[in-house]
Amino acid sequence: MLLYLTDYLSQLYSGFNLFGYLTFRAILGALTALSISLLVGPLMIRHLSIRQIGQQVREIGPETHLLKAGTPTMGGALILIAISLSTLLWSRLDNYYVWVVLGVTLAFGTIGFVDDYRKLILKDSQGLSVRTKLFWQSVAAITAALVLYYNAQDPAIEHALLIPFFKDWLIPLGGFYLVFTYFVIVGTSNAVNLTDGLDGLAIMPCVLVAGALGIFAYASGDIVIAEYLGIPYIAGSGEMMVFCASLAGAGLGFL
């Protein structure tokens, strides 16, 4: 969003050209998300504690989990806000990859928010039913898969399974790409959710994975680096580095 302003200002002062560099914007995205988490986080926790909005624990779980009853939760809402604002501020909004990842993130975040709302406000420790969650997760995942499938600039590469660092080793997926993408999105989401448990311990793996994916996105989006590393070049994919950096920054602030 701010790029439109900095692009204009760069015509008046060349120093603003710095904002055109992807790595610089990724750093700004991480710092912005980190700042939002650090500044808003304590206020949010205090507000939840005052209103006695805390974790509802299933009675069928381990007894040690019962100690976590009442612990302020809904930290995911703060992370979503930090990621979304940072990405919108520092990424190129004419890049459709940005809208796909933000759309999926907000869709799954909304599912989690509604689930927490039922648990915390309605005092229902079960939250949303498994079927309801899976249905809306499937809607979001299938929509994203279709958008990626029909907007591919180079289907021969983007619809193939790639072997890292072996540029010519491609496994064409064809229409199976939609099924594969669906299971990657839904499977990853539920895997993280299961790992997270009650203590939010999944956030550190998320930070590390986001950092690694951000590097891969930057490399595949730069034709020179992609050629050097022997990985396929995908135009526009480098912009995902800003999103990944924002995710990492928000996660570090959450810790």
Q: Identify the residue with better confidence: 40 or 140.
A: 140
Which range has highest mean pLDDT (16-20, 121-125, 211-215)? 211-215
- pLDDT tens-digit readout, 174-199: 999 999 999 999 999 888 877 665 55
Asked if pLDDT for residue 66 goes beyond 50, the answer is no
pLDDT in tens, 30-58: 999 999 999 987 787 776 666 655 555 55
Q: What is the pLDDT of residue 191?
A: 85
Cα gap 108→188, rounded to integer Å: 11
- Nearest-angstrom CA–CA distance, 72 and 140: 28
CA 108, 24, 164, 234 torsion-angle sign: positive
- Domain locations along the chain: 23-254
Token readout for 232 is 């396929």
Give 200's pLDDT tier (boundaries 50, 70, 90): low
- As a whole number of angstroms, the distance between CA 62 and CA 40 comes to 32
Q: Which residue has the tokens 């990492």?
A: 248
What does the CA dihedral 40, 20, 96, 179 come to, rounded to 10 degrees? -80
Which candidate, 215, 255, 252, places its Cα nearest to that of 237?
Answer: 215
Q: What's the first-to-final CA gap in the chain, in angstroms? A: 28
The pLDDT value recorded for residue 241 is: 96
The pLDDT value given to residue 73 = 58
Closest-CA residue to 92 (of 243, 225, 244) = 243
Q: Is the pTM of this model over 0.75?
A: yes
pLDDT at 54: 52
